[in-house]
Amino acid sequence: MNRLVWTALVALAALAWAQAPEKVSPEVAAQKGCLSCHEGIEDIVPAKSGMMAQIKAFGAMAGDPAGCVVCHGGNPQGLTAEEAHAGAPEALAARGPKTFYPDPGSIWIADRTCGQCHPGYDYRLNLALMQTEAGKIQGNLHTWGFPETWDGKTPYGNYDVKDTDGPVPQVGTEAYKKYMTQLIEMYPQAFPRELKQLPEASPEEVQADPKLAALTYQRHDCQRCHVGVNGREKRGDYRGMGCSSCHILYGDEGFYEGNDPAIKKDERGHPLKHRIVATREIGGIHEGASGGIPTATCNSCHNRGKRIGVTFQGLMEFPYGTPFNAKGGKQPKLHTKKYLFIADDVHHRGQPGKGGMLCQDCHTTIDMHGDGNIFATTLAQVEIECEDCHGTPEKFPWELPLGQGEEFGRDIGNAPRGLADAPLPETAAFATLYPKEDGYLLTARGNPFGNVVKKGDKVIVHSASGSDFEVPVLKAINQADAWVSQDAKVAMVSVAKHAENLECYACHASWVPQCYGCHVKVDYSGGASGTDWIKSGSVVDEHGMTAESAIGSSGIKSPGKISESRSYLRWEDPVLGINGEGRVTPLMPGCQVVYTVIDTEGKTIAHNVIARSPDEAAQLGQDLVPLAIDMAPAQPHSALPEARRCESCHDNPKALGYGIDGGIYQNRYAEDIITDLTDPRTGEPLASNYQVQIPAIPDLTFDWSRIVDPKTGEQVATVGTHWPLSRSLPAEMRENMNRSGLCMGCHKEMTNEKVWNVVSTPGTLSNAEHLDLMHKMLLKYYEDAKKGQ
């Protein structure tokens, strides 16, 4: 039988089988409860787990032995879908569902669903970045020139939210709480006590002040990823709400592949199966599958902005979609984009037979759910550093002080952080409990990793996937002199300033996705509109569903249509700068917005506008006001064992912030480029009918990747907008780093035949011979210097 025919028959058979009854008898309802219609549905966790046993025990008390009502509510004795999907058992009224909840993970009702067993998580998540997106909002509005975001101020979130219990974290060790309280005192703007909902702007308000179109852009294009709403109905973007955003898996295609006859298998927008994933102990979505949350789940959101999710997989947005597939077509769009594979992060790549690590293997519960404070940026919320597991060449992780790697310009002392005897109570209660061996390692801020332990001088990471990994520990490598290359030993041991001043990933993130120029058009003409994700998320019904939750509904619309494009894409040799912690870090184009606004009558009221950043000028103490086209400090999540070459920093004007080859290219953005017939002397068009080929961006007089004018040393563009320490490399550091042009130290004598004929030999020296010659010269200098002592 033809394979296509067989596939079609199987699909038709599945559709014919997947039919829930429209009505059941009272006898069947009394016997089966929710399974009268949903018989075959997967247990939400494996039947053998203690969690499933608890759910079924609570369900039995509420008249539903299967336990569905414990999370979903509803009436297990209902005879139709309408009857069953209404109300909730009185036995659950005290703390459980009040009515039927299609997605119990919804953050709007999570206190009565997931919160029954996981109290406090919903409050913390409401204040954390996955819900507020406060940093994204601040960064974007700063780029459009909103004064209320200057100096790192973060006034807005997706919804009104207030920290009602003060700055002391709700969770964490005493060391962590002390550390965070001190950090909040140092940088209060990074931990606001409340956020107001991002306002919206009417077309009339935009007419009076075109930069207010940023609010439309933000609400339509940028805010779809917070956990208060469902994912966008596009390939790779399907997901649930709240807790379900991460813990319920959706395939890229959005089809259900389980056995519930009531869920359509030919309709996109459904979870892959009715199964929670979280820990190694619970396991994966299929019987026998690896546990934990797959990277692709994180990537339903982390594919824009810093792009750390897709970068971790080795993917970078590219427009071409090649090579052609077997049918002659191009690759399908993922997250509405096409991709080029560069190189996946070494932690993702993993080891033969073990696979790679998951995001949750490094990132802690506080990194994900928050600690009860409001965070203005990722740096404020994330508590981990590379050194937490790898240590330094001089110290094991447990010998490092708290704050190693995030000094924020302060003296952190030398007191060893030590180890923990137990994980956090939340970890012990809800996660897989691993043997402590010699002790659990601590994060940079003082909380134990529940899955990372010391075993002798080794560090073991227990992955939620089921694999265990031995971490390369730098001090052990240094003690055994087991460096893979002499370059690594020199860079990490001999050059002390590297360890003192650089993030580990300043060298090891040898590629970074660089999307230069964010050209945004906001068009209010002709009644154009788009989905307003904040307005949609603000309309919540009693079932915990928001306005865009129903499949195909597309949410609430508001005026304005967004178009967005780029100038160009790069991945090699990222620019370097200083991050909020005061360390050298890779930079990537953040919000580099050039905006054009069309009013309701079709008139262009702003054309290729770039805002400026007076607050950055004041912080830097310079007269030049930088353009607000941001280069953002980032942990790109693209670490490779092979660090970037020495020359890629020390002999590279782009790395220093001067632009590609020092800025000799792309320096005519500020003028219209005309390619038609022109007068060779004046450049004036000779034809009456001509078009501008490349329109001008009036204020942009330099390469997008330039952040420093090499002649004046002034910063010409913003570097981060959240933290006062973030900026371009300081002048002294640039001068010490720059080793361009050193070849001429020897080769300028090539014009002096008398000298060159004596020191040179016929032919061409190889690189190895060059290095050997320079080494001999150094040793000769050493011998001469010794004689002169």
Confidence band for 781, pLDDT divided at 50, 70 and 90: confident
Q: Distance between CA 216 and CA 766 in Å, rounded?
A: 59
Domain annotation covers residue 271: no
Angstrom distance (rounded) from CA 113 to CA 117: 8
In a domain, residue 229? The reply is no
d(CA 231, CA 358): 21
Pair 613, 704 in one domain: yes
150 lies in some domain:
no
Please name which of 476, 430, 473 lies closest in space to residue 451, comparing C-alpha atoms.
430
d(CA 702, CA 717): 10
For residue 777, count other CB atoms closer than 10 A to its CB: 11
Give me the number of domains the chain comprises. 5
pLDDT at 449: 97
Q: How far apart are CA 186 and CA 702, in angstroms?
A: 36
Q: Containing H/E element for 616?
A: helix 614-620
Segment among 100-109, 376-385, 450-459, 765-774 with least mean pLDDT: 765-774
List, in sequence order, every residue forming a beta bridge with 530; answer none if it has no partner.
Answer: 558
What are 7-62's pLDDT values in tens digits? 443 344 444 445 789 999 999 999 999 999 999 999 999 987 888 999 999 999 89
Domain boundary pick from 46, 68, 100:
100
Quickly count: other Cβ atoms within 10 Å of residue 752's Cβ: 11
In this structure, the answer to whether residues 23 and 88 fall within a common structural domain is yes
C-alpha to C-alpha distance for 420 and 399, rounded to whole angstroms: 13
Mean predicted confidence (pLDDT) in 374-399: 98
Residue 460 placed within a domain: yes
Residues 761 and 695 in one domain: no
Joined tokens for residue 58 = 């609570």
Looking at the fold, whether 455 and 476 belong to one and the same domain comes out as yes
Q: What is the pLDDT of residues 601-656, one digit of tens each?
A: 999 999 999 999 999 999 999 999 999 999 999 999 999 999 999 999 999 999 99
For residues 752 and 610, give the distance between their C-alpha atoms in angstroms, rounded to a whole number.
Answer: 52
Cβ neighbours around 368 below 10 Å, total: 20
Residue predicted with more confidence, 761 or 397: 397
**Chain segment 174-204, per-residue pLDDT in tens:** 999 999 999 999 999 999 999 999 999 999 9
The amino acid at residue 298 is: C
Average the pLDDT over each of 158-162, 299-303, 348-352, 369-373 and give the range with the smallest value: 348-352
516 and 411 both lie in a single domain: no
Closest residue by Cα to residue 339 from 136, 137, 71, 571: 571
Structure tokens at 38: 């949903």
- Residue 741 confidence (pLDDT): 86
Arithmetic mean of pLDDT, 302-306: 93
- Total residues found in the chain within this entry: 789
154 part of a folded domain: no
Whose tokens are 């971790």? That residue is 312
Residue 26 preceded by cis peptide, ω within 30: no
Say what the pLDDT of residue 17 is: 44
Determine the Cα–Cα distance for residues 453 and 420; give it in Å rounded to an integer: 9
Please give the Cα distance from 602 to 606 (Å, whole number).
Answer: 12
| 488 and 512 part of one domain | no
For the record, the structure tokens of 242 come out as 């709240």
Dump pLDDT digits (tens) for 98-123.
Answer: 999 999 999 999 999 999 999 999 99
| Partners of 727 in the β-ladder | 578
- Joined together, the tokens standing for residue 452 give 């990372």
- Interatomic CA distance for residues 136 and 377, integer angstroms: 8
Strand partners, 564: 520
Residue 295's identity, in one-letter code, is T
Q: How far is CA 413 from CA 301, 311, 393, 403, in A?
A: 38, 35, 18, 9
* Cross-strand partners of 728: 577
Residue 9 pLDDT: 38
Contacts of 777 (CB under 8 A, 6+ apart): none
Q: Which of 100, 134, 150 is the last residue of a domain?
A: 100
Residue 674 lies in a domain: yes
Answer yes or no: do 697 and 728 share one domain.
Answer: yes
Indicate whether 79 belongs to any domain: yes
Rounded Cα–Cα distance for residues 603 and 501 (Å): 51
Domain around 565 = 505-737
Of the candidates 195, 636, 581, 187, the one whose C-alpha atom is nearest the C-alpha of residue 383 is: 581
468 and 329 within one domain: no
- Determine which helix (DSSP H) or strand (DSSP E) holds 537, and give its type and residue range: helix 533-538
The pLDDT tens digits for 643-668 are 999 999 999 999 999 999 999 999 99
Closest C-alpha to 576, from 489, 490, 510:
510
User: Across residues 395-414, what is the average pLDDT?
Assistant: 97
Q: Please check whether residues 698 and 647 belong to one and the same domain.
A: yes
**Angle, vertex CA 707, rays to CA 703 and CA 708, nearest 5:** 105
In the three-class reduction of DSSP (H, G, I as helix; E, B as strand; rest coil), residue 558 is classed as strand
**Is pLDDT at 738 greater than 90 in this prediction?**
yes
pLDDT score of 1? 42
Q: What is d(CA 67, CA 30) in angstroms, rounded to the nearest whole number? A: 14
**607 assigned to some structural domain:** yes
pLDDT the model gives residue 337: 96
- Per-residue pLDDT, averaged over 307-325, amounts to 96
Answer yes or no: is pLDDT of 158 > 50.
yes
Judge if 612 and 730 occupy the same domain: yes
Q: Which of 16-20, 149-153, 208-212, 691-695 is the least confident region?
A: 16-20
Answer whether 438's CB lies under 8 Å from 453's CB: yes
Provide the 3-class DSSP secondary structure of residue 779. helix
- DSSP codes, 392-459: -SS--GGGSPTTTT--TTS---------BSS--HHHHHHSPPPP-TTEEEE-TTSPEEEEEEEETTEE
CB-CB contact of 312 with 344 (8 Å): yes
pTM of the model: 0.94
**614, 695: one domain:** yes
Tell me the C-alpha distance between 269 and 475, whole Å: 49
Report pLDDT for 569: 96
- Judge contact between 102 and 72, C-beta under 8 A: yes
> pLDDT-derived band of residue 71, with 50, 70 and 90 as boundaries?
very high
Say yes or no: 544 and 651 in one domain: yes
Among 434, 460, 494, the domain boundary falls at 494
Q: What is the pLDDT of residues 426-485, one digit of tens each?
A: 888 899 999 999 999 999 999 999 999 999 999 999 999 999 999 999 999 999 999 999
Query: pLDDT value at position 18?
Result: 53
Average pLDDT over residues 538-546: 97
Q: Is 356 left (phi over 0), alpha (psi -120 to 50) or beta?
A: beta
